[in-house]
Amino acid sequence: MTNKEKYIQLCANENYADKIPLFALPFWLDEVAENWDVCIVGDASTKLSMTSVIAVLPYCWKGNLITKRIYLPDLSFYQSVIFLKNDLSLKEKNKIAAELFKQLPKTVKSYFKFLPEYIDVDLSELNYQKEDYSTYIIDKKQQVLSLSTNHKRNIQKGIKQEYIVEESKNIDTSFALLTSTFERQHITSKINFDTFKKINLLGRKYNFGKTIDCFDKNKNLLASIFIVIDKQSAYYLLGGYSTEFKNSGAMTFLLHDVVQTAIKQQKDFNFCGSSKKGIATFFEGFGATKTSITIWKKSLL
């Protein structure tokens, strides 16, 4: 049995359901990655089985022998080592991480974005370069959101004008709005419509994600977002608003509604980061906490 086959079995085991984030689940990787595989480290004292697995490292790759590289698919936010055994010391985690990364195939480039809980794991001795990044998270225990004055104003505007929030019934229209953000910035969209449609269908099948729209009472589409969820968190992956109604405050109203739903479901809400100050300020306006994460890169070029 290959590591990939073992990992698929492991992910189907309910004992690990809370430990594997969405971006590392086989059905997600099958859809978003050109190719994927996994490195596994088990307890050396026992025969490798599902119950003896200590840590895993799922990774996505593309290219051929001379261009092969490990990459992060556009719709994935994390690509990380995952420790399945509790109470490991940092020294043990670093040793296990080194074992995992030494199993990786030879590539011209590698890119990993670690989960926040593994901020202290160090790959520098393996010649990986560290890059600091941040995301913005609202803890599920935060029952009352610390909203900025501007956010409160926009939410009240939405209430007064009777905005409607509902799951998208027209994926084509929602997708056009979501990708308009990239067009305004003269950036190529991260995702094409066919992939987006497949992910939405997959989201319904496995109940992990959906596109949500915000309309005014005249049925004008004001804003759309695409979120995904796993056992622990909800993730804001894509968002867009109509420039015709850019002062409507609909994006704030929509996100506030979705954040509240996540908290009611006892899930953290992850805004999935941004390096742009204006966007970071927008996220922090919901009471989100800036959370450090680590990107590890290696290049032979």
| Full 3-state SS string of 133-182 | EEEEEECCCCCCCCCCHHHHHHHHHHHHCCCEEEECCCHHHHHHHHHHHH
Based on the domain organization, do 166 and 117 belong to the same domain? Answer: no
Q: Do 79 and 146 belong to one domain? A: no
pLDDT at 300: 84
Same domain for 276 and 239: yes
Q: Classify residue 244 by its DSSP letter.
A: G
Q: Is residue 301 part of a domain?
A: no
What is the count of structural domains for the chain? Answer: 2
230 inside domain: yes
Q: What is the pLDDT of residue 45?
A: 44
User: Do 198 and 242 belong together in one domain?
Assistant: yes
- CATH code for the domain of 219: 3.40.630.30
Secondary structure letter of residue 73 according to DSSP = -
- Do 10 and 109 fall within a single domain? yes
pLDDT of residue 16: 86
Q: At what angle do helices 149-160 and 250-264 cross, to 10 degrees?
A: 100
Same domain, 287 and 150: yes
Q: How many residues does the chain have?
A: 301
- Picking from 95, 127, 159, the residue at the C-terminal end of a domain is 127
Residues 196, 117: one domain? no
Same domain, 84 and 228: no
Q: Using an 8 Å Cβ cutoff, are 67 and 108 in contact?
A: yes
- How far is 266 from 25, CA to CA, in rounded Å? 21
pLDDT at 191: 84
Give residue 87's domain range.
3-127
Helix (H) or strand (E) holding 98, with range, is: helix 90-102
Q: Does 299 map to a domain?
A: no
Q: What is the pLDDT of residue 86?
A: 87
Q: Which residues pair with 41 in a beta bridge?
A: 55
Q: How far apart are CA 298 and CA 283, in angstroms?
A: 30
User: Do 43 and 168 sit in the same domain of this protein?
Assistant: no
Which of the residues in the chain have pLDDT under 70?
44-51, 185-187, 301
- Both tokens of 185, joined, read 């910035």
Per-residue pLDDT of 215-235, as tens digits, reads: 999 999 999 999 999 999 999
pLDDT at 105: 95
